[in-house]
Amino acid sequence: MATPRIAAGALFFDELGRVLLVKPAYKDGWDIPGGYVEPGESPRAACIREVREELGLSVPIHGHLVVDWAPADSEGDKVLFVSDAGTLAPHVRDQISFSDGELAEWRFVAEEHIGNYLPDRLSRRLRTAIRAKGRGVPAYAEHGNDPLLDR
């Protein structure tokens, strides 16, 4: 029986349609707000908790955009949820605080530039999530690719 690790992340947008990326203080590279789901916790609850812990924000999390089956050689089976956190208004952005010390920086990045910040697997996942948001229909992905659209 598979026992995958489960993680949940929030995809925030600004008024120009750019996505919010965060730079963790504990590793190289950029990511989206989120983290691993704790035992007994739903992916949605984990996403809300991680946004509160990492960004200091209590904001609504809407439906999921993508569920990605993305096992990693070093970590085994993984299922990753990306949820729609909507548009982050300027007055809410002013409230971002890194109270737990996990993050060092944040910025909004246009879709065409996310590959400059993120590993390929995460870039694919976010592009799939952005397309799902545009269609208004959640996506299933494998290694970030939607098997129905990315043939």
Indicate the domain borders of the chain: 5-142
Give the pLDDT score at 74.
Answer: 85
pLDDT of residue 151: 58
Within 10 angstroms of residue 29's Cβ, the number of other Cβ atoms is 11
Sign of CA dihedral 41, 50, 82, 115: negative
Chain centroid to Cα 46, Å, comes to 12
Task: Give the per-residue pLDDT at 39.
Answer: 96
Tens place of pLDDT for every residue, the chain, 151 residues?
888 999 999 999 999 999 999 999 988 899 999 999 999 999 999 999 999 999 999 999 999 999 999 998 888 999 999 999 999 999 999 999 998 888 999 999 999 999 999 999 999 999 999 999 999 999 999 999 988 876 5
CATH number of 5-142: 3.90.79.10
